[in-house]
Amino acid sequence: MDTSCATLRVPSAPEREESSSEICWSDICESATKGRIAAAKLHVLQLEPIKEKLGERWERLSELVHKLFERTLARAQGPRDHFVATGELSYIVTFHDLSPEEAGLACASVADAVCKLLFGDGVRDIAVRSLVGTVPAQGPGKDGDAKWREVAAALEQHGTETIIRSESSAPYATQVAPPDFGPADMALMPLWDITSSKSSAVFLVPRTALTPRGASSVRRYMGTAGQREIVGAEISLLEAAGELASRIREARQVCAVGVGVSYETLSNFHTRLCYIAALKRLPEGAPFLLKIEKVPGGIPLIRLGELVAMLSAPSLRILVEFEGLVPQLDIRLGAHGVGASLSDKGPPENVGAILQSLSRRGTTQKSFVFVTGLSSAVLVETVARHPIRFGLGNALGGGVLLSELRDMPTFPLVRCGGDRRQLHYRELA
């Protein structure tokens, strides 16, 4: 797809078709609603890994996805609306007759369809990023391309961000969402120092994370549950971790307690407010780790850095976990730890590339590096060949249900071999 010149798409109005060089701001908003109109930016994340996996099939599939974007959005757009390609599978669209909320639903619909199409061609970890907001109905200038770039910049700064994934791409999609998320659903997993086989930090995780093929996050554990239920469960996990941190402090033990929160929760304005409010209720003084889980490739680093800054607090240490290859970090994120998820990453060469990208990024960020999803001895051995200090996963051992924790463990914990069964509740307690 040639992205040197944005292509104008005007649905159901053949007589108005024109080249992008003829677009000007006054034409775009010629009959716009007075004041502001709804607009959105849509783009597929992690394109490079997708293209590498698909090889020669990429060109054919990308054209299918482009047509799907165009066809699906045309159903929601009116005769005055526009559809502009601003990059490879990246678009700006306008909605004169829709509210921002309605425009958000339209974008979610096309994003879900795109994700399912890509999954159907055997690609995992697919996501589409949507930014929805309002833009001025009129503006100066004659250069259409430059004006669309201004719209994109405005949406990046002020738009409501949503990450849409295909539920069909996950093996847990058919799981029935649990009605409640209480102590019996939570377990402790140590964050191990791989070189010393010791741990002075534990994460509270869904209990199925204790099994070899278990859920590594609340969002995965909850399966087909709705956004409200997922966020509620993430907040329940956070509150339980706060109580555990207080108990550890009362027992005069030194240990950091951590939880994960999905990037999807933090990228949505309303759910982010709910989560930050719960975060502020944590007991002060106890060291606490917050892991932003599976940040997709393609997220603007400035936006990610702003998110880390929003969450910052004196006793809080922010960890950023990327999904797959860690991108070139040309700004300081402000995170204390940078990591990568190794869950479902396929052949060893894929894992090796992820680990190499991670070890390089940690140095430039002046942060410690970690990996999650260590589900096998082979993965542990692979990680050990790289300068990765911390790891989380079943293959490293450890785990106890929160409801069974009667006495506080003595920290630091010490691993007794590679078999997770050798570190059971009695040894923790």
Which range is least confidently modeled, 75-79, 86-90, 230-234, 288-292? Answer: 75-79
Q: What's the count of helices (H) and strands (E) in the chain, helices before strands?
A: 13, 18
Is 83 within 8 Å of 10 (Cβ atoms)? yes
User: Which of 175, 232, 233, 173 lies closest to 204 in space, CA to CA?
Assistant: 233
For residue range 10-19, list pLDDT tens digits in order.
333 333 333 2
Residue 78: exposure state from Cβ atoms within 10 A (0-12, 13-18, ≥19): middle
For the cut 50, the answer to whether the pLDDT of residue 8 exceeds it is: no
For the cut 90, the answer to whether the pLDDT of residue 284 exceeds it is: no
For the cut 60, the answer to whether the pLDDT of residue 92 exceeds it is: yes
Domain spanning 8-168: CATH superfamily: Reverse transcriptase/Diguanylate cyclase domain (3.30.70.270)
Which range is least confidently modeled, 44-53, 235-244, 390-399? Answer: 44-53
How do beta strands 8-9 and 83-87 pair? antiparallel
Q: Which two tokens stand for residue 11?
A: 């649905």
Helix (H) or strand (E) holding 49: helix 47-54
Confidence of residue 144 (pLDDT cuts 50, 70, 90): low
Of residues 176 and 384, the one with the higher pLDDT is: 384
Provide mean pLDDT across the span 230-242: 92
What is the residue-wise DSSP string for 390-409?
A: EEESGGG---EEGGG--SPP
Q: How far apart are CA 21 and CA 108, in angstroms?
A: 29
For residue range 185-219, list pLDDT tens digits in order.
888 899 999 988 899 999 999 887 777 666 678 88
Domain boundaries, the chain: 8-168, 183-428
Q: What is the pLDDT of residue 372?
A: 92
* Mean of all residue pLDDT scores within the chain: 78
Domain spanning 183-428: CATH superfamily: EAL domain (3.20.20.450)
What is the residue-wise DSSP string for 327-375?
A: PP--S----SEEEEE-TT--SHHHHHHHHHHHHHHHHHHT-EEEEE---
Cα torsion for 17, 19, 23, 28, to the nearest 10°? 30
Q: What is the pLDDT of residue 236?
A: 92
Is 177 within 8 Å of 219 (Cβ atoms)? no
For the cut 70, the answer to whether the pLDDT of residue 252 exceeds it is: yes
DSSP letter at 209?
G
Q: What is the pLDDT of residue 417?
A: 56
CA distances from 74 to 70, 95, 220 (A): 6, 10, 33
For residue range 28-38, list pLDDT tens digits in order.
333 334 578 88
Share of the chain above pLDDT 70, in %: 79
Q: What is the pLDDT of residue 235?
A: 93
Of residues 426 and 98, the one with the higher pLDDT is: 98
Confidence of residue 258 (pLDDT cuts 50, 70, 90): very high
For the cut 80, the answer to whether the pLDDT of residue 172 exceeds it is: no
Q: 196 phi and psi, to 5 degrees?
A: -100, -10
Is 73 within 8 Å of 93 (Cβ atoms)? yes
Q: Where are the beta strands (DSSP E) in 223-268?
A: 256-262
Which range is least confidently modeled, 18-32, 65-79, 138-152, 220-234? Answer: 18-32
Confidence of residue 226 (pLDDT cuts 50, 70, 90): confident
For residue range 332-378, list pLDDT tens digits in order.
898 999 999 887 766 667 888 889 889 888 777 888 999 998 888 88
Task: Decide if 8-168 and 183-428 have a common fold.
Answer: no
Highest mean pLDDT among 25-39, 113-127, 231-245 belongs to: 231-245
Highest mean pLDDT among 58-67, 152-161, 229-238 belongs to: 229-238
Q: What is the pLDDT of residue 169?
A: 38
